[in-house]
A and B are shown apart, each in its own frame.
Chain A
């Protein structure tokens, strides 16, 4: 396919796409695969990518054996699956039509400014998760309502901790501890609550679903180094939640 991009521009597109996919919650293998495909579509002789959750390394080689390489460190990630979907669609489009450089940059900028749900909607999402899981794990309608309210409060706690740029470990400890304390306050109002159902229900919010899924997907794709680091992170999150709950259950 014909295009008039320089090798530098191609590398820039590749590293941007790889970085964005890792940032919005895509698995390492998806980033590698996407970069590979786009590089090949632009007529690179060789494309070598290595990605883990926190870094991506890309090396491309054209027909004249000219080699360029770039490393990007991926810092904080925030899950945005809508962005992932759009990036996936964009990479398909690039592979089919070999879009010019400016057009790709414009499209990436457009995806960057995609819509996200406002905080109120996210708060209701947290509340819905907590309320329905409280019922799911054996609570009645009373537990559902309390779960709903505590879930909304948990959202504020997590938002404040994120605003203060707390480390993820501390966010999980704080979130879990706050949950148990809020539930204890509700038991003063109504003594016959099934505390464990509500606690499980609200804490489901903190389950690292993205990490677990990506870890499994990376193992399927034989990306063991990326998968193992995610397992460790998951275990750390689990330990953090246990610590948070433990501290506040034992405190009376």
Chain B
């Protein structure tokens, strides 16, 4: 339990915190941005536990990051990008990229292709999750604005 759940969550939190500081986020946004990384990685680990797929947990993770950031942006009136940028860092497929590059260097072509495909699978799943949820929020905000404008004109 500790090795498989708490250790990754704690290290993901610390790493997100580090990135938030490197991006010069200050004040309460620092805490909110850090919690975005924690939250998304908890969601990922839970999905990973109940699913055999590689892409599905990452997709859900991407959706949860966008959902968290947009809601936080709405509540605290800050740009959603602030929370997105540091929140999605733990889900970057670092080890897949590294394996691909390592196999490429040592001439292991099947390993290279496998690593590359894995990277694209994971990256694509996260990006699709983010795009889906962000588009949904755009739609939602646009509709809200139109309703407000119609009321003003009426």
CB contacts under 8 Å to A, within B50-75, are none
User: Does A84 touch B at the CB level, under 8 Å?
Assistant: yes
**Of listed B8, B11, B102, residue having the most chain A CB within 10 A:** B11
What is the CA–CA distance of A131 and B17 in the complex, to the nearest angstrom? Answer: 12
A145 CB to nearest B CB, Å: 13
Measured CA separation A133–B26 after assembly (Å): 22
Chain B positions within 8 Å of A128 at CB level:
14-15, 17-18, 21
A200 lies within 8 A of B95 (CB): yes
Q: Which of A11-19, A118-126, A163-171 contacts B (4 or more CB under 8 A)?
A: A118-126
A244 → B minimal CB distance (Å): 10
Q: Quick one: which of A131, A137, A250 contacts B105, CB cutoff 8 A?
A: A250
Name which residue of chain B comes closest to A138, CB basis.
Answer: B95
Write the residues of chain B forming the contact surface with A, with a CB cutoff of 8 angstroms: 7-8, 10-12, 14-15, 17-19, 21-27, 29, 77-79, 81-82, 84-86, 88-90, 92, 94-95, 97-98, 101-102, 104-105, 127, 130-131, 134-135, 138
Besides A125-B21, A238-B97, 18 new A-B residue pairs in contact (Cβ under 8 A), listed by A number: A25-B81, A25-B85, A30-B79, A80-B24, A81-B82, A81-B85, A84-B81, A85-B78, A117-B24, A128-B14, A129-B15, A132-B15, A135-B7, A136-B11, A136-B12, A204-B89, A209-B88, A246-B104
